[in-house]
Amino acid sequence: MSPQLMYALAALLVVVGLAGVVLPALPGLPLVFVGMLIAAWAGGFAKVGVATLVVLGLLTLFSFVVDFWATAHGAKRVGASKKAIVGAVLGTFAGLFFAPIGLFVGPFVGALVGELIHGRELGAAAKVGFGTWLGLVLAIVLKLGLACAMLGIFAFAWFF
């Protein structure tokens, strides 16, 4: 495969990965990392070496911790049941079909329905739905920060 084709594939993976930070159906930061790895490989690892790739890999692994922590933290703070968390995940996937509004409303509605099935009253279920949704938003914001850090580290290694 030619280096130009590898760079194009790398750029595509990074762009799709950045979209995946916001869209839960795509593994965002792992795609960003794979794109950067391919770009480094296409350049013969001359500009971006092993040490930089290890740091980027560690940040990618850390993104999984951030994602689970933020989502669980938001849900736990408001006393969400497991049904609310499952509902939020299902609502997130359902929301993909009604993007962009569905991406914001889906997790809330899913958590709300999960809590109603769990037997909570509407007011308490809405509070849990909002807390779970807030946790998902926090996860997205933190992952966007990690994506920016990864892009910055890669660019620094590439140009300096």
Q: Looking at residue 137, what is its pLDDT?
A: 83
Q: Where are the domains of the chain?
A: 3-159
Task: Please give the structure tokens belonging to residue 106.
Answer: 């889906």
Percentage of the residues of the chain whose pLDDT score is greater than 70: 99
The answer to whether the Cα torsion of 74, 91, 66, 140 is positive or negative is: negative
Mention every residue, 6+ apart, whose C-beta is less than 8 A from residue 23: 96, 99, 103
Comparing 23 with 90, which gets the higher pLDDT? 90
Q: Looking at residue 55, what is its pLDDT?
A: 98
d(CA 102, CA 138): 17
The reply to whether the predicted model has a pTM over 0.85 is no
pLDDT digits (tens, 9 = 90+) for 103-124: 778 888 999 999 999 999 999 9
Q: Is 80 exceeded by the pLDDT of residue 6?
A: yes
Q: Looking at residue 103, what is its pLDDT?
A: 77
What value does the mean pLDDT take over residues 35-50? 96
Mention every residue, 6+ apart, whose C-beta is less than 8 A from residue 46: none
Q: Is 90 exceeded by the pLDDT of residue 68?
A: no
DSSP 81: -
DSSP 133: H
In the structure, what pLDDT confidence band is assigned to residue 148 with cuts at 50, 70 and 90?
very high
In the structure, what pLDDT confidence band is assigned to residue 70 with cuts at 50, 70 and 90?
confident
In the structure, what pLDDT confidence band is assigned to residue 143 with cuts at 50, 70 and 90?
very high
